[in-house]
Structure 1
């Protein structure tokens, strides 16, 4: 392959990537605010904190491990040990790097511990089954701050200018040695101005957020099944 062919190939790949990104952003923009919670299994615990979301993303994967093992694995998994997740965090830090701000990746830490350390709070937990974590924030700013609320104040919080976000980690029993790992994200804004700002943020940025969720699924399954095999040995 000569230099001209390489240039053409690189141009074609770049064009395809740009077209794909543009298509995704357009779709995410069009879908925003059209969350259909009825498409997914009912989660009364989650409904108690954010019953009418503008975004409702649901992901699940069958795991050959008991519920308690799957749940414990999900809570303690270290996301930064996953190359794809490290790459996503690096890409999200790229604008800051271009401005000369150093990128300091998080050290080894479970997904739950890392989230709580950033300001989120636990809203509810069913032992060995499900945890709901929430925060309010303004994610469209370059420096994002997450703030927690007491569980009994989260649902009613409506101070203008903010986005409320909840996410869950759950393990649903399918049998004595099998479970369904579920992770879910819901988002709602507190006024129309915040809705417009968050929509502009979500359309391009949701790809990385959802890719992290997709990366969690096989990682949890692999580690949970490995733990289950060791327990049976």
Structure 2
């Protein structure tokens, strides 16, 4: 979770946050690593079109959340379309969910507290496989 104070009123901050491209992360090693990691996906997108847009999970005027489901660990991400109403319950084996929640709160007449919370959620099926593998490794080494 990241929080910062913005020198702008709440509505202006909220509107600006809604316009951000949350897939655009820049800076040093992060940019280089992201560029390298995205090579297979860029090649894939040239042939098959761009990735899908995130699902809007909240319609509020003071906060919003975006969510995507996919296999984020693969060179070419496999996306799964999930409706906003079904997103919380989504638990398809082998997929994860990435959620970003953004909120704005007034901090005086012309300032705003902006909070961005990001969470990566693995499906229960993925967690069960990891537990089974860990149990196997423990018994294999006995």
Query: What is the TM-score normalised by the length of structure 2?
Result: 0.69
1:178-217 superposed matches below 5 A: 178-191=111-124, 193=126, 196=130
Unaligned stretches of 5+ in structure 2? 44-50, 131-142
- The structure in which a higher percent of residues are strand is 2
- CA root-mean-square deviation: 3.2
Partners of 1:162 and 1:194 within 8 A in 2 = no
Counterpart CA distance in 1 for 2:92 and 2:120 is 15
Partners of 2:41 and 2:76 within 8 A in 1 = no
1:1-233 superposed matches below 5 A: 58-77=1-20, 84=27, 88-94=30-36, 118-127=52-61, 129-191=62-124, 193=126, 196=130
SS in 2 for 1:69: helix
- What does the per-residue CA deviation read over 1:195-229, in whole Å, with 9 as the maximum and x for residues that have no partner? 74xxxxxxxxxxxxxxxxxxxxxxxxxxxxxxxxx
- What does the per-residue CA deviation read over 1:30-70, in whole Å, with 9 as the maximum and x for residues that have no partner? xxxxxxxxxxxxxxxxxxxxxxxxxxxx1100112110111
Displacement of 1:186 after TM fit? 1.6
Partners of 1:133 and 1:168 within 8 A in 2 = yes
Displacement of 1:170 after TM fit? 1.9
Counterpart CA distance in 2 for 1:135 and 1:63 is 27
Residue matched to 2:46? none
Number of matched residues? 123
